[in-house]
Chain A
């Protein structure tokens, strides 16, 4: 019976995955759908809190406030930038297939379209906030905000227009090829992850992160319970992220949410098994990041993948994240929270998996090829664009905090306040100036 139900709903899900814009335009009229997407937008909003806890906890106490400020900036500056430019660029009339050209500074949207804008603004902020964890503890706040605006107003919506574009007419070229990315393994997570990689490269590693012989030195976060709590919050938010992407309150939601949940669980299990097999310590920070890796990976195919393959997708995300993190360390790239392996690498893996494990058409190499084109296009757009953005910021206004600021902590030097004033006396400057 379960099979029967799944077969019946498959065409609907496939339609959603291939042309989300068209589907959403049709479905966001019913009150129940609008209510569900509003709730989903709130859940995705709450993911910002998850990122703040995860990234704040993974950084040292003296930089925790700065990290949270960056998350807040992503949300606020990102919302304004996406409303002003990003929304039109991503979902406006897309005649060429390369970018939207209407609905900038939208003021007269219908109720359904407004809800859609709200939901998508949360996605844009999510893409941008991935960067903050990667460059934490050494990037100045001002230039970071500028980069965040560039991502939410330019890089993210441009790629989004290729895939999900056409809400107000036309279609993106990747969407037209049949590229599947239901809720944004690539559109949101890989784009954010590639931008994070560019940022981490341009800003350079934290002071003393790597020895002269290239050995990586651990810099433990200041509050690991916050890290775990952040992951729980993110997981909760993911039900809105993936579930809300159906843009409809119907029975299909269950299938999407079950796949999402099990892949997250698979990601944690896959990470645990990988660490055990490699005879490495089973670090809580790595293991909970594995759950996020599984969630990122299933985001592309949660609506179109049989549940067994969803679990497999999550399981494989574990080793992808662990080995990806090791690769970055070998390359002396300092990624404080592991944002690049989790979001960029696992996003790419999940997008490929969405093509390989497509329900009713497993292992279709043509489909996998289209997925690879989409993955490559994301890398080809986001990484060099972000690299150029960060490099321009570095040579113009300066990107990197001074070593003195690293010593004192960016909480104190950038915001003139510290996260834990009663407990942070050891290395605090006696008086500013």
Chain B
């Protein structure tokens, strides 16, 4: 059985691999020193904060900061570590959600997407990893842009990062939902994905916004 120290070592290895994938050796070393000094012992789950600190310390442009963050998430998932879970393995309690702003279509889409993201996390890191990998690998189609696909990947990893989606038109949510469905199929199989989607749609139908934007329009 893996101990907490084993897990700490595994996390460090994953970060090392992720950093080396994006940064040069000296930058990756500096970033790891920062991890060991400021985060490893006291804040091992504060990945977003860590990436922000790394970006500030190395003066990384926004795009590269995004790439570092994605690389770290991917490296962790590839090693079976769910970055959204605490060191003890217990799921991080969801942060209290502030009232959601945006159009009815956005709020319905957000509800369905978060329902699926949560459902995909439930079976464990391997399903999450397969889900993220599928989001990345699938070629965008049906009007879906590369930017939208990247934003979806980021959102799936950090559930509070939904800014990109607030400004989309209602018609743009359906192809995104389809991409989520395809990724869920690859992660859980079509039976699990159908079940998860049915639950997420049912939940969204209970929202007041459903009268204005029926969730089935996403399908």
Tell me the A residues contacting B by CB distance below 8 Å: 60, 206-209, 211-212, 217-220, 402-404, 407-408, 426-431
CB of A418, distance to nearest CB on chain B (Å): 13
B188 and A408: CB pair below 8 A? no
Chain B residue at minimal CB-CB distance from A404: B178
B189 and A404: CB pair below 8 A? no
**Does chain A have a CB within 8 A of B115?**
no
CB contact between A208 and one of B133, B190, B198 (< 8 Å): that residue? B190
A208 and B188: CB pair below 8 A? yes
B193 and A208: CB pair below 8 A? yes
**Does chain A have a CB within 8 A of B44?**
no
A220 and B191: CB pair below 8 A? yes
Complex CA gap A218/B190 in Å reads 9
Cβ contacts under 8 Å, A207 to chain B: 182, 185-186, 190
CB of A215, distance to nearest CB on chain B (Å): 9
CB contact between A211 and one of B189, B193, B194 (< 8 Å): that residue? B189
CB of A60, distance to nearest CB on chain B (Å): 8
Once A206-B190, A209-B190, A219-B191 are accepted as A-B contacts, the answer to whether A428 and B219 lie under 8 Å apart by CB is: yes
Cβ contacts under 8 Å, B193 to chain A: 208
Chain B residue at minimal CB-CB distance from A206: B190
Residues of chain B at interface, number, CB under 8 A = 22
Cβ contacts under 8 Å, B189 to chain A: 208-209, 211, 217, 219
Once A212-B186, A217-B189 are accepted as A-B contacts, the answer to whether A407 and B214 lie under 8 Å apart by CB is: no
**Does chain A have a CB within 8 A of B201?**
yes
B186 and A208: CB pair below 8 A? yes
**Does chain A have a CB within 8 A of B7?**
no
A403 and B216: CB pair below 8 A? no
Those of B187-219 within 8 Å (CB) of chain A: 188-191, 193-194, 197-198, 201, 214, 216-217, 219
A428 and B216: CB pair below 8 A? yes
**Does chain A have a CB within 8 A of B130?**
yes
Once A207-B182, A217-B191, A407-B219 are accepted as A-B contacts, the answer to whether A430 and B214 lie under 8 Å apart by CB is: yes
Complex CA gap A243/B141 in Å reads 53
**Does chain A have a CB within 8 A of B117?**
no
CB of B134, distance to nearest CB on chain A (Å): 9
- 7 tightest A-B contacts by CB? A208-B185, A217-B189, A430-B216, A426-B198, A208-B190, A207-B185, A208-B189
Complex CA gap A206/B185 in Å reads 10
Complex CA gap A429/B130 in Å reads 26
Chain A residue at minimal CB-CB distance from B177: A407
Complex CA gap A428/B194 in Å reads 11
**Does chain A have a CB within 8 A of B165?**
no
CB of B148, distance to nearest CB on chain A (Å): 16
Once A211-B130, A212-B130 are accepted as A-B contacts, the answer to whether A430 and B217 lie under 8 Å apart by CB is: yes
**Does chain A have a CB within 8 A of B181?**
yes
Cβ contacts under 8 Å, B190 to chain A: 60, 206-209, 217, 219
Q: Which of A207, A208, A429 has the most CB of B within 10 A?
A: A208
What are 17 inter-chain pairs, A to B, with CB distance below 8 A? A207-B186, A208-B185, A208-B186, A209-B189, A211-B130, A217-B189, A218-B191, A219-B191, A403-B178, A404-B142, A404-B178, A407-B181, A408-B219, A426-B201, A427-B197, A428-B219, A429-B216
Cβ contacts under 8 Å, A427 to chain B: 194, 197-198, 201, 219
Cβ contacts under 8 Å, A219 to chain B: 189-191
Chain A residue at minimal CB-CB distance from B186: A208
Complex CA gap A404/B178 in Å reads 7
Cβ contacts under 8 Å, A430 to chain B: 214, 216-217, 219
Knowing that A208-B188, A218-B191, A428-B216 are A-B contacts, what are 14 other residue pairs whose CB atoms are under 8 Å apart, sorted by A's residue number?
A60-B190, A207-B182, A207-B185, A208-B190, A211-B186, A212-B186, A403-B178, A407-B178, A407-B181, A426-B194, A426-B197, A427-B198, A428-B219, A431-B217
Cβ contacts under 8 Å, A426 to chain B: 194, 197-198, 201
Complex CA gap A55/B193 in Å reads 23
Chain B residue at minimal CB-CB distance from A207: B185
Complex CA gap A270/B190 in Å reads 31
Cβ contacts under 8 Å, B186 to chain A: 207-208, 211-212
